[in-house]
Structure 1
């Protein structure tokens, strides 16, 4: 007798209220796999779009999900409807890009010192 794994149906809510999905996933799928799928399926023409899965944070049940966790570990037990769709929120935070003109954070702030002489 084989045990059939029940798939979890997920929908990803974007910053503007639009959705990606619903898509069925195995409970053993990792959050990192979900992020890769979101980047691949990201709608064209959005103002903000992730360049890599590291630019995305997934939030479910008010918690930011860790890449190493599985879908089965991230499911919120309360309020879950059997056969219902679980909505996860997607936050895009592009990695900071350093430019050559950008100041180094390690530089101490310059102090204004008066060099006036009163005679």
Structure 2
């Protein structure tokens, strides 16, 4: 789109492969980027995110928040390089609450103390 500030982004997966580079508007949110990553994820990988919430984006050593825009998260030095900004992608599936609560209940509770003071 003419006059729109586009940013070239490349997403580096855990095994070193990349998605992109793709031009995004600097007004795009991190949540929008995550949705695109999930839709373009290579299907031949062992680990495949099921939803955007399973994906974390890291840029300049920081985990990016969903409500931030690309312009807010882009490091200032990439403009000097004039290149593509690389964001690292981590897949961390969320655990269902029912299973995690069940595991807590299965742990035996100790109610007595076996200490001796002499």
Same fold (TM over 0.5): yes
Q: Aligned residue for 1:14? A: 13
Instruction: Tell me the number of residue pairs that the alignment of Structure 1 and Structure 2 aligns.
Output: 111
Q: Measure the CA separation in 2 of the matches of 1:112 and 1:68.
A: 45
Q: Measure the CA separation in 1 of the matches of 2:78 and 2:9.
A: 15
Deviation at 1:103, TM superposition (A): 3.3
CA 1:99/1:56 → structure 2, altered by over 3 Å: closer, same or farther? same
Structure 1 unaligned spans of 5+: 114-119
CA 1:80/1:93 → structure 2, altered by over 3 Å: closer, same or farther? same
Asked if 1:109 corresponds to 2:108, the answer is: yes
TM norm structure 1: 0.81
Q: Secondary structure at the match of 1:47?
A: coil
Supply the RMSD in Å over aligned alpha carbons.
2.5
CA 1:112/1:68 → structure 2, altered by over 3 Å: closer, same or farther? closer
Asked if 1:46 corresponds to 2:23, the answer is: no
Confirm or deny: 8 A CA contact 2:78 2:85 kept in the other structure: no
Structure with greater helix share of residues: 2
Structure 2 unaligned spans of 5+: 113-118
Deviation at 1:79, TM superposition (A): 5.0
Q: Aligned residue for 1:117? A: none
TM norm structure 2: 0.81
